[in-house]
Structure 1
Amino acid sequence: MSIRFDGRVAIVTGAGNGLGRAHAMGLAKLGAKVVVNDFGGARDGTGGSLSAADKVVEEIRQLGGIAIADGADVSNFEQVTMMVDRATAEWGSVDLMCANAGILRDKSFGKMEPADFAKVLDVHLTGTFNCCKAVWDGMRARNFGRIVLTTSSSGLYGNFGQSNYGAAKTGMIGLMNVLAQEGRKTDIRVNTISPTAATRMTEELLPPDALALLKPESITPAVLYLLSENAPTRTIMGAGAGSFAVIKLLESEGVNFDESEWSPDTIAAHFAEISDMAGARALEGAFQQTQKYVQQAATRLGIKV
């Protein structure tokens, strides 16, 4: 059965350009009613205008879709709540949330001003929290919800000059992990996309030939899948230029030592063994790590726990 979103209501933040626009268009083409949210600011988050969102809404309507524009600043919880309330009043629910909005204020860490660090976290991480929080109760009440957060390779792997952006984007993984657990019993599935695309965020960072391959539309199929009825939950997908991957945080099997050996010299002597990834696996929750360590200690001591 083909994936469709008929009867579903979606909010896509940062949808006036780039990735958000592609996601909003993709959802509308598959039948969703879409709130095209965009604060309309510059790349650094200054300014503000509804013109970009209005343009995308008009594009959707010309294709026969249903959409409204909204200029809520995602870093303002009251504005986000009003946006969700408006969509609910208009169409009865918000079923799908794609938290895509973001800004850049790149500087090397030595030159990073606290205000620039705080503002990027406020838009990306707190803004994503605001979006999830505003739709959470309604999704729980209806026993259905699909949420996609947006991380970045800058956070997952690191990128010079983006300590603020990288920290915010890595925070998405922690948020996803917890929300996916808390949402399971009411069928709220929470996933994360790590996109690489040619947008105004990246246009100055890549050569023209690379940018030509990295169309925002090449990311959208993964986002639509993660928002679909049969989506997984607690999954990170990487996407770019038509390539799609699953990203996991892995932990080595590790080594357990007797208390008499608890010293930095022991760690140094056995670091190769400790860091051996041959038996590495992705853990499904914080307590699973605790259980693993306790079981290793108990096995070494020959006791049952």
Structure 2
Amino acid sequence: MNRPILALTCGEPAGIGPEISLRAAWELRHEVRCILLGDAALLAQSAYEIDAQMRVAAISIQAWRNSGLPHFPTDCLTVIDCPVAEPVRPGVLDARNGRAVLQTLDLAVQGALSGAFAAIVTAPLQKSTINDAGVAFTGHTEYLAEVTHTPQVVMMLAGGQSPHLRVALATTHLALKDVPAAITADSLARTLDILHADLRSKFGIARPRILVTGLNPHAGENGYLGREEIEVISPALEAARARGIDARGPYPADTLFQPKYLEDADCVLAMYHDQGLPVLKFASFGHGINITLGLPLIRTSVDHGTALDLAAAGLGHADHGSMLVAVRAAADMARRQKRA
């Protein structure tokens, strides 16, 4: 486990995913063995154009299933070949390649659940391409929960340059009008249980301190701006504390993200996507990561999208900093769980 084996899905082939995956896997090859899942021909060509010294060796899905991973030397990246249906044009989406992208994710999950991979790291994909291919898809987080039969997961982003800044979400990709109904005492209880457990097991924090935002401006201002804090959030936090979880709040979100509060916290739980994530992305965009908690496997990802415009401009324009952080974080979690 000093050099854990990670599955690295290369994401949307027309985006920057293949490039940042190759660059991160190559740079960290002496620390981590990244098994890339994507179109082998595309990755081999990109690797040669990025660095002529970068060696790539491909194996078929069937060969991997039958015989496992071959023992290539450290200076050779392994690719499990998931061929695209149509030639890739950088920056140009093609729905006919959507199922090949989804296949990489399915294989990574299968490998992680079987023990072949210690964790999975995902490059950004394009939701619309998968939906246009005829598969209902709302995002990595929701899909991973579905295929692993996990009733609830928690999305958390962490700042790469400020490791103490972690922001988890009580709800994920929902329209704003649907958020209040989705925040219930039961859902908050499950979210806090997952946060507490995974901060302990995956991050090695003995007694996690979780600060929780309110839903409404000024945390409802004693009911004048909404009663969710009084009727749902505060009782859920009181119940969590009775279970031994150090959950504090609810706090007004507009003033919570200050150093004097955050220095006393291991994680902030925000009520919805655009309440907590803009703060974290402002502080660490390009060096932050996305982590899915509650799964029966370790999954990290970058904090950005497919950047089709950068891909269209050619290799060398994308920053792989977030992918480096995501790979290192997944490897650290895998080592920690192995020791436990």
Question: TM above 0.5, one fold?
Answer: no
TM-score, normalized by length of structure 1?
Answer: 0.40
Larger radius of gyration: 1
TM-score, normalized by length of structure 2?
Answer: 0.37
Instruction: Choose between structure 1 and 2: higher strand proportion.
Output: 2
